[in-house]
Structure 1
Amino acid sequence: MFSPRACEGDTNPVLIPFLLAAAAAAAAPPAAMRLDYFHTGDAREERFALDAVVREGPWPGPPDRRLDDTGLGRYQFEVRDAKSGEPLYSRGFASIYGEWETTPEARDRARGFQESVRFPEPEALVTVTIKKRDARGVFQPAWSVTVDPAGPAVDRRPPPAIKVWAVMKNGEPADKVDLLLLGDGYTVAEMDKWHRDAKRLADTLFAVSPFREHRARFNVWAADTPSEESGVSRPSDGVYRRTALGTTYDAFGSERY
């Protein structure tokens, strides 16, 4: 039973832990939700198909900048509350499909690419819409899908045990731009080399403008993903390697990639 005497003095030993716990719960970030889909088509048309919805770890983004007002990107995705239509999250992005559809190959055949978008886990049913710029540069809906965060189809398995380490940390992820480096074609015995290369890449990037002037606004992380074989595939030279990420040169048949 509540007693007025408990409020006498400067502190309440019962109430304070409750308030601290409530404040901590309120400050805890939501989980991250990842929507995986297939982006297919050719130079004349494109199609989308749902692959999976995955619940990940805590959302690392800024809590006060959910809606994108930059207007950048050839594509944009938008998350809206399915009942009220209220916008909850949006981001512009560039897709490798958007470049592939301009290649000569796209005039002769269709291809598909796996893509993903991530957003803070919503509290209720949402509609996720992928938009693409039209000839006038205006975003137009290209595909929509309904996502139920409480649905049984959401993959809630723990993430794989991958070591992620800080190459350069200048603050908490919610307050910085976070870059993640992935090294492919490094075996277990070459992890030390991968760590040196990751640090060298970060140092090189932030030694030039405009990154040099904004270094303090960034964090750089790296993930250790050991491969069975050393090196990466280069089909134009007849070189093929079995690696963790399956990266390769010669994408789209171009040496530029």
Structure 2
Amino acid sequence: MTQALLALLLATSASAAPRTLRVDYFHTGNATEERFSLDKVVIEPLAWPGHPDRTVDDTNLGKYLFEVRDRDTNKLLFSRGFASIYGEWELTTEAKSENQTFHESLRFPTPERPVQVLLKKRDAQNAFREVWSFIVDPKSMFVDPSSPPAPGPVLKLLENGPPEQKVDLLILGDGYTEAERAKFEKDARRMVDILFTFSPFKERKSDFNVWGLMPAAAQSGISRPSTGIHRRSPVGATYDAFGSERYVLTFDNKAFRELSAFAPYEFVEILANGNTYGGGGIFGLYGTVAADSLWAPYVFVHEFGHHFAGLADEYYTSENVYAPSADRLEPWEKNVTALKDPEQLKWKHLVAPGTPLPTPWSKEEYETHSNNVQKQRKQVRAERKPESEMDALFISQRDWEEKFLSTQKYSGKVGAFEGANYEARGYYRPQLDCVMFTRDRVPFCAVCQSAISQVIDLYAGSKPQKPRKTP
């Protein structure tokens, strides 16, 4: 999209839809307590990209939920579930002994009158409980409508209709210099093409718009602290998030939000200019992927599953940064379960009659092989061998797992297979294999596809929202 088209979007927004309002705030705490404080309320450059009749989130996804209510009538105007970097960090060992602060944002259509914003968090029973509330008056002199500097031209990678009628995905480049602008576009188009080979994205492609935006970096690449590489990239993406060498996040939320504000978006994938295996995904925030890694196609789709539909990781033998949970609480994610009561399994409608719950599989044999791979992986990293050696190890692992899992008795069936959510015991996944479990060449499982479809329906398509009563 050219600057002229951006200007057209701005002009259209003034008459056709409210502008996008963003609340920036600080989220501070540790493993046992958290606090919130307002930073700034801003009006973003573009119109709100969402459907005017799909303002209330009925997916029941997310560790957090925010609601926007009319101050005078208490009418629910808008809501969205989401997850956050803080929500992940508070589960780490570090959070047991330290405090940290993270910058976060809430976005919604600019209201006509003052509203109350309520932030809620799930309790141990998965019910949302209020943890913070504040008033936003859109006519306050402290609401900032000024625009930050434009980061560059917006590309139309896929356009199927007006933003308010479609799911709007932004591919945001980081670590690309001005001389690498053509490379960014090529990388972005490759990732988009890959995403729409996976169901249900493939069948729902016409429900999406995809935009591209690349703020030019002074240096090529992003930070990788474990190898002494530090870059001041525009979006701030970095490897080694939470000390995990493959985990790519940005902790510069303000930069991320101000750059993204120049394209219509509900979802964002940060495309990092690098070749080391890595990525990340947080529901309702963003996904990340290293564009030049051999595994970029898999990582992009896997991490987008986290970001887009709140899908949990189904693998459990890899090292992770999260402290083991003392209790096996029922996860809010739709593709893992603690299976407290098989009769109440949340995806039981997809289980064929006669399928045992839990569903047996050769778990010990899988774990033995996977643990051996983990040892080799540590050695490759410790000796700082070329990325090609890590790729070779992963290819060998992929080929073994693909053959092994496909020959199990209940392969391809929906059941409850133990081992998921980073835990070998007590959590179960819906199918033996899935994009959320291994790197092999398999689709999203039936349960994941259903969860993704529900999110698409929230933003696009012909499915109407059910009428709701105002509490």
TM-score range, shorter chain: 0.7 to 0.9
1:36 partnered with 2:16 = no
SS in structure 2 at match of 1:209: coil
**TM-score normalised per structure 2:** 0.48
- 2:186 corresponds, among 180, 196, 204, to 196
Which residue does the alignment assign to 2:164? Answer: 174
Which residue does the alignment assign to 2:133? Answer: 144
SS in structure 1 at match of 2:238: coil
Is 92-101 or 204-213 further displaced after alignment?
204-213
- 1:54 corresponds, among 42, 52, 62, to 42
Q: How far has the Cα of 1:147 moved from its partner? A: 0.6
Which residue does the alignment assign to 1:212? Answer: 202
Are residues 126 and 234 of structure 1, via their aligned partners in 2, closer, same or farther at CA, if it must alter by over 3 Å? same
SS in structure 1 at match of 2:164: helix
Are residues 26 and 241 of structure 1, via their aligned partners in 2, closer, same or farther at CA, if it must alter by over 3 Å? closer
5 Å-filtered alignment, 1:6-45, equals 28-45=16-33
Stretches of structure 1 that go unaligned for 5 or more consecutive residues are 1-23
2:147 & 2:94 partners in 1: Cα distance? Answer: 39
SS in structure 2 at match of 1:98: helix
- 1:255 corresponds, among 245, 263, 269, to 245
1:136 & 1:187 partners in 2: Cα distance? Answer: 48
SS in structure 1 at match of 2:174: coil
SS in structure 2 at match of 1:183: strand
Measured on the aligned residues, the alpha-carbon RMSD in Å equals 1.6
Encode CA deviations 1:123-171: one digit per residue, 9 max, x unaligned. Answer: 1111111100111000100111111100011111034323222111111
Structure with greater proportional strand content: 1
1:146 & 1:25 partners in 2: Cα distance? Answer: 25
Which residue does the alignment assign to 2:78? Answer: 89
1:185 & 1:101 partners in 2: Cα distance? Answer: 29
1:104 partnered with 2:93 = yes
Structure with greater proportional helix content: 2
Which residue does the alignment assign to 2:250? Answer: none
Is 243-252 or 162-171 further displaced after alignment?
162-171
SS in structure 1 at match of 2:203: coil
2:13 & 2:227 partners in 1: Cα distance? Answer: 55
Q: How far has the Cα of 1:26 moved from its partner? A: 11
SS in structure 1 at match of 2:237: coil
Which residue does the alignment assign to 1:227? Answer: 217
The structure 1 segments of at least 4 consecutive aligned residues displaced by more than 4 Å after TM superposition are 24-27
Structure index of larger Rg: 1
5 Å-filtered alignment, 1:237-252, equals 237-252=227-242
Conserved 8 A contact 2:13-2:19: no
1:246 & 1:141 partners in 2: Cα distance? Answer: 31
Q: How far has the Cα of 1:210 moved from its partner? A: 2.5
**TM-score normalised per structure 1:** 0.87
Which residue does the alignment assign to 1:77? Answer: 66
Encode CA deviations 1:89-112: one digit per residue, 9 max, x unaligned. Answer: 111111111111111111110111
Q: How far has the Cα of 1:37 moved from its partner? A: 0.7
1:215 & 1:71 partners in 2: Cα distance? Answer: 24
Q: How far has the Cα of 1:25 moved from its partner? A: 10
Are residues 186 and 87 of structure 1, via their aligned partners in 2, closer, same or farther at CA, if it must alter by over 3 Å? same
Stretches of structure 2 that go unaligned for 5 or more consecutive residues are 1-11, 248-471
SS in structure 2 at match of 1:143: strand
1:209 & 1:191 partners in 2: Cα distance? Answer: 30
Residues matched between the structures, number: 234
